[in-house]
Amino acid sequence: MQPNDNVRTSYLKFFLIFFLLALLIGFAFWWFQQDEADPPQTTEHAFDSGTIRWTIEDYPAKVLHDNQFTVEIKDTQGFPVHDANIKVKLDMLSMVCGDYVFEMTEVATGKYGGDGIPLMAGIWKATLTLESNEQTYEISRLLKAIH
């Protein structure tokens, strides 16, 4: 065996150990994420000016498909809030790219709808930005997307 063969063998062993460790760590992350409870289809949120009931139809959401999001907004006295401007940003947890932003439109008094498209399977964070009566509120929830 020549000296260059020893160096190549050492690099090969190092690469193999590194690859196996990375594979093991990736599997561990995947395994522990499976144990987390799935986010619910409907969530309820309180904010300074009222409440929001947020639903994702045909849950869990489907990757690369239009998924209907609806929110029902009521003020502190229980009356529907109309003429609000609503945007939703979907971003995948622990990813730096692949955000998806969409607007919601009023489909009935105090009820808004829009289509969101998760780009990958996994757990996503949805952040709703509500502008009403010269006030801005941000409300977040988690959702699950599958193939």
pLDDT tens-place string over residues 95-145: 878 899 999 999 999 999 999 999 999 999 999 999 998 999 999 999 999
User: Per-residue confidence at 50, pLDDT binned at 50, 70, 90?
Assistant: very high
69 lies in the same domain as 108: yes
Task: Supply the pLDDT for residue 35.
Answer: 45
pLDDT tens-place string over residues 54-108: 999 999 999 999 999 999 999 999 999 999 999 999 999 878 788 999 999 999 9
- Rounding to the nearest 10 degrees, give the CA dihedral for residues 130, 136, 142, 147: 40
116 lies in the same domain as 51: yes
11 lies in the same domain as 65: no
Provide the number of structural domains found in the chain. Answer: 2
CATH number of the domain within which 123 lies: 2.60.40.1930
Domain interval for residue 2: 1-35
In sequence order, what DSSP letters do the residues of 78-131 get, joined into one string? SPBP-S-EEEEEEEETT-SS--EEEEEEEEETTEEEEEE--SSSEEEEEEEEEE
70 lies in the same domain as 17: no
Least confident piece of the model among 17-26, 30-39, 82-91, 112-121: 30-39
Task: Supply the pLDDT for residue 52.
Answer: 98
54 lies in the same domain as 24: no
Q: Which two tokens stand for residue 3?
A: 């000296």
**Burial 22-50, CB ≥16 within 10 A → b, else e:** eeeeeeeeeeeeeeeeebeeebebeeeeb
Of 69, 75, 53, residue with least CA distance to 124 = 69
Per the model's pLDDT, the better-predicted residue between 141 and 1 turns out to be 141
Task: Supply the pLDDT for residue 137.
Answer: 97
